Structure 1
Amino acid sequence: MAELRAVTPDRVADLLSGCAPCTFWQTLPSNGHVSADDPLETLADWVARVGSDWGPPGRIAYVDGEPAGYVLVAPARHVPRLAAFPTAPADPATVMLLTAAVPRRNPGTALRKALVQAAAKEAARHRARAIEAIGARALARAPHGCVLQVPFLEEVGFRVEREHPAYPRLRMDLRTALTVREEAAELLSRALARVPGMRPVPQGPPDGATRARSTS
């Protein structure tokens, strides 16, 4: 069975990506120094802070109880790494799409699109008129894997808001996205239907906690 669950402190171990557990957006630039903090603990603390102030900062997609991908979204005031980008928004209330990640074994592009739509839906629920993102262009020098590529963002409905040769800021206007809820459900259902043994996305609210996972 497939479902979307809110990102909560007890589920941060399910944030699968190429550098998981990743705290890129949740920390300030380290200038080459590795933080001594436990990344899972850092993520859990960040998720708790955002959840208390704004709401769950994203969604995790599960297939038959196993994590299949995730999306992170939060107000700019909760994203320390934005300070490293010249196109960071001036308004701390700007809702930012941070990343959408899926393991390579899953139907990456379709699922990532569905997760971005879920993030847009979350922003709309908070009455945000738009959602923004920092994107990486080909000129970006060794961009971090959690920085979404500009072509992908444009493909899912973002347009450049502030230009930059390497890291422009893009924007999706939610006032014209009248079918966000339906598009998210349809895209997610189609994407996850490609996974063997998958059944349709349930219509009711998900329940139950993700099981504990061991970390190295």
Structure 2
Amino acid sequence: MPGPRTRELLPLTPERVGDLVGSCAPCTFWQTVPHNGHGRPTDPLELLAAWVEQVTADWGPPGRVAYVDGRAVGHVVVAPARHVPRLAAFPTSPSDPATLMLVTAVTGDPAGAVDGAGRGGKALRKVLVQAAAKEALNHRVRALDVVAARPLAVHRHACVLEAHLLEDAGFHVERDHPTYPRLRIDLRTLVTIRDEAAEAVRRALAKVPGVRPVPETHPNGSSHA
């Protein structure tokens, strides 16, 4: 019987650019804009490494790479809009260059490689989006935006996330569009929901005979159940 798997979610660094996964990796779609109708003749790995280094110096590591047993199985990229040139090509691009964008979340995980039950890709994608939200909270950002694609976007690039998947994850339409709406998730709401859920559990446990709720410690050091 195989032993437990090692799972890691590590910061995206220039050295880890070669571990990015997906059908078009290494991809520079979001990091570039068309130049006279053609892409610039730059090595994708070199360009991505330079982009990651630039964003890290200005803002911080622009994402995370997920590993299982040392093998990359997915990644998420998040960065301020000022570092995402391709946004200018979309009609719902944010006007504020400081807007934090979920650039993409890609899984290259074969079925079952993450949870052993054929749900690997879906579970991993959720973890990646949660990692992007956590990254935003670490920077004290109130919301996370993403330009997504609806079914009418017939030539959708693989790195543009599907709107319905994000809506299922709690994103809502911030600026609508038939093909490429911009969605947003309010991170303050996420924190509020988490805190309210924890309080509801404490209240429910308090009503169960013989169950003592976990003491709650206050900043002054005092505790009460």
TM-score (norm 2): 0.78
Structure 1 residue 119 displacement after superposition: 0.3
2:33 aligns with 28
RCO greater where, 1 or 2, for CA within 8 Å and sep 6 or more?
Answer: 1
1:49 aligns with 54
Structure 1 residue 31 displacement after superposition: 5.2
Structure 1 residue 115 displacement after superposition: 0.3
CA contact (8 A) 2:82 2:98 kept: yes
Q: Aligned pair in 2 of structure 1 residues 62, 85: CA closer, same or farther (>3 Å)?
A: same
| Residue 193 (structure 2) pairs with residue 158 (structure 1) | no
| Residue 45 (structure 2) pairs with residue 40 (structure 1) | yes
1:175-208 Cα deviation digits (max 9, x unpaired): 0111899xxxxxxxxxxxxxxxxxxxxxxxxxxx
Q: Any idea what SS the aligned residue of 2:189 has?
A: coil
| Structure 2 letter corresponding to 1:40 | L
Structure 1 residue 29 displacement after superposition: 2.5
Correspondent of 2:11 among 6, 31, 35: 6
| Residue 190 (structure 2) pairs with residue 177 (structure 1) | yes
Greater Rg, structure 1 or structure 2?
A: 2
1:146 aligns with 159
Return the alpha-carbon distance in structure 2 between the equivalents of residues 179 and 74 of structure 1.
Answer: 24
Q: Any idea what SS the aligned residue of 1:164 has?
A: coil
Correspondent of 1:67 among 64, 72, 96: 72
Structure 1 stretches of at least 4 aligned residues deviating more than 3 Å after TM superposition:
none
Q: Any idea what SS the aligned residue of 1:133 has?
A: strand
Unaligned runs of 5+ in 2: 1-5, 112-119, 195-225
Return the alpha-carbon distance in structure 2 between the equivalents of residues 130 and 30 of structure 1.
Answer: 32
CA contact (8 A) 2:109 2:121 kept: yes
Aligned length: 182
CA contact (8 A) 1:121 1:180 kept: no
| Structure 2 letter corresponding to 1:102 | T
Q: Aligned pair in 2 of structure 1 residues 42, 169: CA closer, same or farther (>3 Å)?
A: same
Q: Any idea what SS the aligned residue of 1:120 has?
A: helix
Q: Any idea what SS the aligned residue of 1:177 has?
A: helix
Aligned sequence identity (%): 63
Return the alpha-carbon distance in structure 1 between the equivalents of residues 93 and 103 of structure 2.
Answer: 12
Q: Any idea what SS the aligned residue of 1:4 has?
A: strand
Return the alpha-carbon distance in structure 2 between the equivalents of residues 180 and 35 of structure 1.
Answer: 45
| Residue 105 (structure 2) pairs with residue 91 (structure 1) | no
1:164-183 Cα deviation digits (max 9, x unpaired): 000000000000111899xx
Aligned-residue Cα RMSD (Å) equals 1.7
Return the alpha-carbon distance in structure 2 between the equivalents of residues 110 and 23 of structure 1.
Answer: 25
CA contact (8 A) 2:73 2:109 kept: no
Q: Any idea what SS the aligned residue of 2:185 has?
A: strand
1:36-80 Cα deviation digits (max 9, x unpaired): 100000000000000000000000000111101000000000000
CA contact (8 A) 1:29 1:84 kept: no
| Structure 1 letter corresponding to 2:134 | K
